[in-house]
Amino acid sequence: MPVTVGNVLTWDPDLDDETLAQAGRAASLPFIAGHVALMPDAHVGLGCAVGAVIPTTGAIIPAAVGVDIGCGMIAVETTLTASDLPDDMSGLLSRIERVVPAGVGRGHQRHRSQGSALRTLPRTELTDKQMDRAVSQMGSLGSGNHFVEICLDPGDTVWVVLHSGSRGIGNQLARRHIDTAKGLMKEYATTLPGGDTDLAYLTEGTPEFETYLADLLWAQDYARQNREAMMNAVLGELGTVAGGLKERRRINCHHNYTARERHSGKTIWVTRKGAIRAEKGDAGVIPGSMGTNTFIVRGLGNPESFNSSAHGAGRRMSRTRAKRELSAETLREKMGGRAWLADRADRLVDEHPDAYKDIDQVIRFQADLAAIEVELHQVLNYKGT
């Protein structure tokens, strides 16, 4: 159940003061439609906390959507079982690495797949270099907490789970509009809560808003199709190794995005910055971290959260702090028994499970937001370094 602090509802009873204060500043903006809801994985972010649901009327905060527009999860339940997997998963890991480029700036050397997102263009005109990047990075993973995992459910059914977003082009479009919003705030001498320029907003009905919205929707579509392209490539490699497979179901959901929705009889903008839509019956994917489990959930449609739930474990340490306090040796211990990039452990310390909140606690705290349908245990993890 949520705790109310001013104009903020939080589902984390142990939430730190800095994250709560950041959400409170966003919640004090005059166009907030009710309250800001903080999911149990909330932590400090840019402008507003990650794990925040921000309802607005007549304006959108570009930095609240974030620079990885449309980032989200895709999961596929297959017809395979654990017995269909090879005893040594290292070969499958290598195959996945070959078909899904990962890491900062990485893409396909040969433009393997454009996807229908590239049959249309954003409102903002792309340079030749940006267009080339958008094409080459379609079907690529990126870095940070983006990953591909092979998982098993309690019945030993094989699942593939993947986390990624709109890559370099989404980042560039987002930063352009964040800068535009900041420029407008300066031009009109607009005072923002706490002087935080990352709360700069675009007002509905203006050309700047309309251009941002068009680019936002395009980048969200790009991100969704990027996940589809990677999932299809991974399933192809898995099917080759296992002698064929079929899909039982596929779930693809954003957790960094804005959508027009109806709540309490009003049509508003809902920005989910590190949160998934959890309307009653919605299927969702909530991962933990390296070495921890992932949950397939069904939304419960809680109006207090604007029909939302957590998107993952949420960080409890910054990347800098994780690199300083955690080690490759303890990461190897946490990842015992899994196929992963163990030879690059020193470059993955900032993704150490101890840098994240306890995913089991996150799931417990949001029992009124989403119900657990399946709990997955990873047997293979692939990340960019």
Cβ neighbors of 81 (< 8 A, separation 6 or more) are 155, 156, 157, 158
| 120: number of Cβ within 10 Å | 11
Pairing relationship of beta strands 8-10 and 36-43 according to DSSP bridges: parallel
Residue 297 and residue 180: Cα distance in Å, rounded?
A: 37
Residue 109 and residue 107: Cα distance in Å, rounded?
A: 6
Pairing relationship of beta strands 3-5 and 8-10 according to DSSP bridges: antiparallel
3 state DSSP class of 56: strand
For residue 264, the Cα-to-chain-centroid distance in whole angstroms is 27
Are 221 and 171 a contacting pair, CB within 8 Å? no
Nearest of 100, 174, 173 to residue 137 by alpha carbon: 100
| 235: number of Cβ within 10 Å | 17
Nearest of 61, 103, 370 to residue 203 by alpha carbon: 61
In the chain, the amino acid numbered 21 is A
In the chain, the amino acid numbered 194 is G
3 state DSSP class of 264: coil
H or E, element range at 23: helix 17-27
Residue 270 and residue 249: Cα distance in Å, rounded?
A: 27
Pairing relationship of beta strands 275-277 and 266-273 according to DSSP bridges: unpaired
Active site residues: 311
